[in-house]
Each structure stands twice: as structure tokens, then as C-alpha cells.
Structure 1
Amino acid sequence: MKNLTGFNKAALDDYSSESGIKIDVEEEIYDDSVAEGLVISQSPEPATKVEKGSTVKVVISKGKKRFRPRV
């Protein structure tokens, strides 16, 4: 299994088409250190052997959480 950390959704689609591995966006969360739209983590972990047709779950960053001041 390739390390998908840092991939955007278009790159995930390309990888899925080329490898035959399905990608499931399990969750989208705010992350101060990872830009919006990029993969933060995946399951199974990179370097794990997976069969064609398997599903890999990824978590995508929503970027930094923007705080709105109370008025």
C-alpha cells in the first residue's frame, strides 16, 4: 500500500483507477498542519499489503479552523 498522505482528491482518484484499490473518505477534520483537501491519514497504514479491489479509508484535512469572533 502506497503512502497516500498529502494526496488531494484528484490524486486519490488517479491512484484508485491505476491500482484497482477503492478509496473511502472516512472523515474530514480540521488540522492546523495539513492544508485543506489533503490526506492526513489512512487505514491500512502505508507499506501494508492490500489486494486489488480492497478499500482504503482516508481522513482529509479541512485546513485550519477559522474562528469567528462573537459580536
Structure 2
Amino acid sequence: MALGTSDHRALIPASMLAGAFLALACAPLSQPPDTDSVLPLNAITSLFGAPVVIAFLIRSRRGVQGVAS
């Protein structure tokens, strides 16, 4: 839905690049300053990824409501 195409030749590289960018953007956030501890990267990425998934679900539900019933 984000790219406006269902062509896998575009979707697979785009999802790989988006995932790599998200992991690289979250990596510095997983190491809090002035501490020796490291937070799990998957916990940090889920904080950013969950709202995106929820937004896509809400958007897809709005489109389905007009067709069903």
C-alpha cells in the first residue's frame, strides 16, 4: 500500500531497504548514554514499527467497511 504497487520486483527491495534503515536508525537508541547496558534492538524497533502496522490496519479497515455489509 505504501508504494502503490503489488509488483514484487519493487516491493522486496523496498522492504529490505526500509528494514535496514529502521534497524540502523534504532541502533543508537538501544544504547542509553552514560550506562553500560544495552537494550534489545527488537524492543526499540517494535516501538517504531507497531504504530506503522496499526496505521496500515486502520487504513485497510476503512476501505473494507464501505464494501462489506
TM-score normalized with structure 2 length? 0.28
Query: Which gives a bigger RCO, structure 1 or 2 (Cα 8 Å, sep 6+)?
Result: 1
Q: Give the helix-richer structure, 1 or 2.
A: 2
Q: Give the strand-richer structure, 1 or 2.
A: 1
Rg (Cα) greater in structure: 2
